[in-house]
Structure formats: structure tokens, C-alpha cells
């Protein structure tokens, strides 16, 4: 195996571990924008705006909110750990395929000498 | 039911926050700049680097899932502009972050589809450009060693995330859907700056660790180090013919 392949496979393994396993230990607290977006509003227990004026006041549902991978879950899988891990691995591989595909298509065909 | 742990993530704008004209305006701006990025990326990508750049995008997707706590009840995650700029340069880097954001919006319902333009502008374009400006500056004035690279990664990350957050505040000032009464825009800007500086520090630590690891294994795959190596090339290149001349 060449050194380049070793680095690529090592990197891919790290990506799959992060997206598939470590993702389950992520913080569930509202993030930076979400917390600021709620400033000035009163939220109910589910985090929905019920009163006041704030950035999140007129937030609308996501267009694809009922897609099979919505909110980093997998439809039909009830186990949270498995769903988060599976959606993470799927997303990482999909991103690799799309970004890698675009970069492969637009690459310069002359071999650049380092 | 909103018990999902990753209902909304970091700087990702949801639907209904910005009005139509601002969303469309920033979508056009983002599309134009991404087209330029595609053209400018061509000469940086070859058979060897194209798959690696794809891996950088996948890595950013994975790490964006990892929300870390920054304040009691507030979390954040890496955005990736600084990491992408350091590893693959500003143009390929912006494309990496943009692909991540588009996959998140279209497949994971993370960040509104109508907000893709503003989101790509803030995180992929403004974030990566701000990071690259800092990287270009700092690598000139800081010592060219592991510590210099780490400090560069942290500062570039903080500035990158802060710039992306301020870009959102600008968009909200231009076309936010709610007239803010209890909390003014200045207060929003201050709160965004405060939380995102903390998120940027966390992002900086992850970025510094990642770049240091790649630099150790394959320094030639770190874009930010390639410019430095070219500067250093003349010295050994001159020595070789000189030695040959003596022999």
C-alpha cells in the first residue's frame, strides 16, 4: 500500500469513527445562533417560541423535515445511538462522494509536479 | 416532539428567519462566488489531491456533528473554514464547506433550503475567506514551526467563526423577519460575538490538532505549508549544482 493510500484510509477511518460513534456524545444544548435567536422570546418546554420578539419568532418548518434522515436520525430506527451513527456515516460518505466527485471532475489533467 | 439532540445546529439559519429578497440575494452572491471558486480550484487539484480534498469535506461533515459545550446551556461546533483553508487552500476549502452545508440542508433538514444562500455565504465563503486572510498574514510573521502553525490555526478559527456570525447579523439587519423589540440588534450582535468567540476557540483547538497531525504525516498535503516550502526550495536547489561542480 502506498503512503498516500495509507493516509487516505487512515483519514477515512477517523471520519467514520467521528461521524458514526463520537457523534453520539455531542452536546444537546442549543448552539450559539439558536441561543441568541431565542433572546427576547418566551419558549415552552419543547423549545418552541410562544411569546415575545426574537430572531426565531417567525421560524418555519424545514421543507424536507420529513425526509428519511431529517435531524440526523434514520426513519424506522428507534435506537438513538444507532440512528445518529448511521446518519453520520451516511452523511460523511455522501459528502465524500459528492465533494470528491466534483473535485475529480474539475481537477487539472496535467500531473502537477511537486 | 422536539427532544432530538441535533434539532438545529450552530450557525445554520432556519427557514423564515430571513426574508425572501435577502435569501435570494445571498443565494445569487453565493452561486457566483462558488462558480469562481470552481474555476480557481482547477489548478490546485490533480489526481493526487482531488480525493484528499473530498476527504477534507467528509471530515468537516463529521466534525460539524460534534457539538461541544461553550457556556451553561449553550453549545457550538466547528464550522470548518479555517481547517479547510489550512489544508486545501481558500478556493477548494470554500467548496468543501459549501458541499457540507448543501448535503446538511437537503438530506438532514439542517439549515433551511431557502436559507442555503445565506448559510453558504456566511460559513463557506465569509468564514473561509476570513480564515485565509489571517493564515496568509500570520504565517509570514510567526515562526515557521509547529507552534506557529498551531497559533495560526487557533487565531484563524476564532476570526473565521466571528466573521461568519457577524455576516449573519448583517443579513438579519438587511432582512430579518421579526422586528426586534425586547432585544435590539446591537445586543444580538454582542451576544453572537461572545458565544462565537468561544465556539471559535473550541474550533481552533480541533483545527490545530488536525492540521498538526496531517503536517506530521504528510506536510506536502498541508496547503498552508506548501507556500513556505517553495520559499525554502531555492537554498537546497542551489547547493546541489554547487556540490556537483566541486566534484
How confident is the model over A3-54, as pLDDT tens digits?
Answer: 778 889 999 999 999 999 999 999 989 899 999 999 999 988 887 888 899 9
pLDDT of residue A1: 62
Alpha-carbon gap, residue A95 to B56, rounded angstroms: 10
Alpha-carbon gap, residue B165 to A43, rounded angstroms: 23
- Contacts with A25 from chain B: Cβ below 8 Å: 66
| pLDDT value at B247 more than 90 | no
The per-residue pLDDT for range A57-80, each reduced to its tens digit, is: 999 999 999 999 999 999 999 999
Is B190 touching A (CB cutoff 8 A)? no
**Residue given cell 418566551 in the structure block:** A42
| pLDDT value at B10 more than 70 | no
Q: What does pLDDT average to over chain B?
A: 89
Contact criterion met (CB < 8 Å) for B73 and A55: no
pLDDT of residue B228: 56
pLDDT of residue B8: 41
Give the mean model confidence (pLDDT) for residues B58-86. Answer: 96
Alpha-carbon gap, residue B111 to B174, rounded angstroms: 19
The answer to whether residues B49 and B218 touch, using CB atoms and an 8 Å cutoff, is no
The answer to whether residues A49 and A42 touch, using CB atoms and an 8 Å cutoff, is yes
- Contacts with B2 from chain A: Cβ below 8 Å: 46-48
Q: Comparing C-alpha atoms, which of B21, B37, B28, B129 is closest to residue B91?
A: B37
Is B113 touching A (CB cutoff 8 A)? yes
- A95 versus B218: the higher-pLDDT residue is A95
Alpha-carbon gap, residue A56 to A38, rounded angstroms: 6
The per-residue pLDDT for range B190-237, each reduced to its tens digit, is: 999 999 999 999 999 999 999 999 999 888 889 998 865 444 433 333
Indicate the residue of A11, A84, A102 with minimum beta-carbon distance to B59. A11
Q: Which of A7, A8, A18, A36 to mutate to test the interface with B (most CBs of B within 10 A)?
A: A36
Is B62 touching A (CB cutoff 8 A)? yes
Distance from CA of B245 to the nearest CA of A (A): 25
**Residue given cell 435569501 in the structure block:** B23
Furthest-apart CA pair in chain B: how many Å? 82
The per-residue pLDDT for range B101-130, each reduced to its tens digit, is: 999 999 999 999 999 999 999 999 999 999
Amino acid at each position: 500500500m502506498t503512503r498516500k493510500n495509507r493516509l487516505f484510509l487512515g483519514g477515512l477511518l477517523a471520519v467514520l469513527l467521528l461521524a458514526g460513534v463520537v457523534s453520539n456524545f455531542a452536546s444537546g444544548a442549543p448552539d450559539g445562533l439558536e441561543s441568541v435567536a431565542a433572546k427576547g422570546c418566551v419558549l415552552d418546554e419543547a423549545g418552541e417560541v410562544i411569546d415575545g420578539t426574537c430572531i426565531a419568532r417567525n421560524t418555519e418548518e424545514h421543507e424536507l423535515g420529513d425526509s428519511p434522515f431529517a435531524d440526523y436520525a434514520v426513519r424506522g430506527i428507534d435506537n438513538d445511538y444507532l440512528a445518529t451513527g448511521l446518519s453520520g456515516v451516511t452523511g460523511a460518505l455522501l459528502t465524500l462522494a459528492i465533494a470528491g466527485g466534483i473535485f475529480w471532475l474539475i481537477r487539472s489533467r496535467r500531473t502537477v509536479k511537486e | 416532539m422536539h427532544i432530538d439532540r441535533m434539532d438545529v445546529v450552530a450557525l445554520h439559519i432556519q427557514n423564515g428567519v430571513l426574508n425572501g429578497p435577502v435569501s435570494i440575494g445571498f443565494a445569487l452572491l453565493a452561486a457566483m462566488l462558488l462558480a469562481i471558486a470552481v474555476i480557481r480550484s482547477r489548478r490546485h487539484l490533480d489526481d493526487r489531491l482531488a480525493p484528499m480534498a473530498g476527504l477534507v469535506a467528509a471530515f468537516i461533515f463529521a466534525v460539524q456533528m460534534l457539538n461541544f459545550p461553550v457556556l451553561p446551556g449553550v453549545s457550538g461546533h466547528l464550522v470548518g473554514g479555517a481547517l479547510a483553508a489550512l489544508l486545501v487552500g481558500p478556493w477548494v476549502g470554500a467548496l468543501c464547506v459549501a458541499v457540507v452545508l448543501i448535503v446538511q440542508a437537503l438530506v438532514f433538514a439542517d439549515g433551511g433550503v431557502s436559507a442555503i444562500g445565506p448559510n453558504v455565504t456566511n460559513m463557506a465563503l465569509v468564514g473561509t475567506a476570513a480564515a485565509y486572510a489571517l493564515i496568509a498574514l500570520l504565517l509570514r510573521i510567526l515562526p515557521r514551526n509547529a507552534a506557529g502553525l498551531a497559533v495560526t490555526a487557533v487565531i484563524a478559527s476564532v476570526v473565521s467563526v466571528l466573521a461568519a456570525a457577524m455576516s449573519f447579523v448583517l443579513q438579519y439587519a438587511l432582512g430579518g423577519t421579526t422586528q426586534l423589540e425586547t432585544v435590539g440588534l446591537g445586543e444580538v450582535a454582542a451576544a453572537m460575538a461572545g458565544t462565537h468567540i468561544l465556539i471559535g476557540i473550541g474550533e481552533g483547538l480541533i483545527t490545530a490538532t488536525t492540521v498538526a497531525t496531517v503536517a506530521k504525516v504528510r506536510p506536502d498535503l498541508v496547503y498552508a505549508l506548501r507556500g513556505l516550502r517553495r520559499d525554502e526550495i531555492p537554498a537546497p536547489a542551489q547547493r546541489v549544482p554547487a556540490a556537483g561542480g566541486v566534484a
